[in-house]
Amino acid sequence: MSSLPMVATVLLTHESPEAVSRMCNHWLEHDPDQVLIVAYGGSAEDFAGLVTEHAVFIDDPELRTRDHPRERQSYLGVFAAVAPLVEKLGVSHVHLAEYDEIPLVRGLNGLLLEALKREDADVAGHRLNRVDGTGHPHFTFHRHDPAFMNYWRSMSRRDDPEVVLSMLGCGSFWKTEAFVAVAKLAPPLRIYLELMLPTAAHHLGFRVRPFPDQDRFMAPEIPKSFEDFEPFRKDGAWRIHPVKGYWSQSVPTP
């Protein structure tokens, strides 16, 4: 292991045990200075077939949604299930990655750590924006429920408890203290993960910052494939998202 702070990469997936093994091998080949935790949202039968050192089964209906924004998909169950293991392992940082996020460069965690240090941040993520008082669809969908803003007012440590942030969950990078603090929350309503994670971290007093130059490589509305790997890498991408079904296919390693 290098002298870098130890990073836990949480890989959220529902794919077959074979696909999970390929995914884990790829992540470790690209960056051995990390520990992998598979957060598994597939079947209990497939979970039993996983061959990996660290895995947790996520049997949470708030994760297992179809229309994610409208059903307010939540990652709090993932955080709560993973946090005890993160603390036991003694890691300093947590990288939250979805199965369709593919690292393109070696030493990814070193780049993420440098970015966090540059921004003097506790949490960094993609497409980070302040959305309160705007027409942002996730904000407007939640604001009609009085419990939404009341929750932030009740728990905020900030001078302005009205701030609401939006950020992709995929690819977010956390100091362990911030990750564990958010994992302990139990809001009285379901809040969509893209609002919940950054807003909760902010109101708990943690500094949340963007990855300014990497957002375009992670845009969820633009599907990518293996053919995009090399052009994206040459354009400066650290990772690419979403690449659906990649680990289930017989394709070359990027």
Distance from C-alpha of 101 to C-alpha of 170, rounded to nearest angstrom = 8
Q: 165-179 pLDDT, tens per residue?
A: 999 989 999 999 999
Residue 72 domain-assigned (yes or no): yes
Residue 65 domain-assigned (yes or no): yes
CA-closest candidate to residue 207, choices 184, 167, 185, 174: 174
Q: 70-87 pLDDT, tens per residue?
A: 667 899 999 999 999 999
Residue 157 domain-assigned (yes or no): no
Q: Give me 148's structure tokens.
A: 């939404």
Total domain count, the chain: 1
Residue 159 domain-assigned (yes or no): no
Q: Give me 6's structure tokens.
A: 């130890």
Predicted structure pTM score:
0.93
Q: 91-143 pLDDT, tens per residue?
A: 999 999 999 999 999 999 999 999 999 999 999 999 999 999 999 999 998 99
Q: Which CATH number covers residue 184?
A: 3.90.550
Distance from C-alpha of 196 to C-alpha of 152, rounded to nearest angstrom = 10
Residue 2 domain-assigned (yes or no): no
CA geometry: angle 77, 29, 118, nearest 5 deg: 65
CA-closest candidate to residue 78, choices 92, 93, 98: 98
pLDDT at 33: 85
Interaxial angle between packed helices 176-183 and 193-203, expressed in degrees from 0 to 180 and rounded to the nearest 10: 110
pLDDT at 1: 43
Residue 145 sits at φ, ψ, to 5 deg, of -95, 115
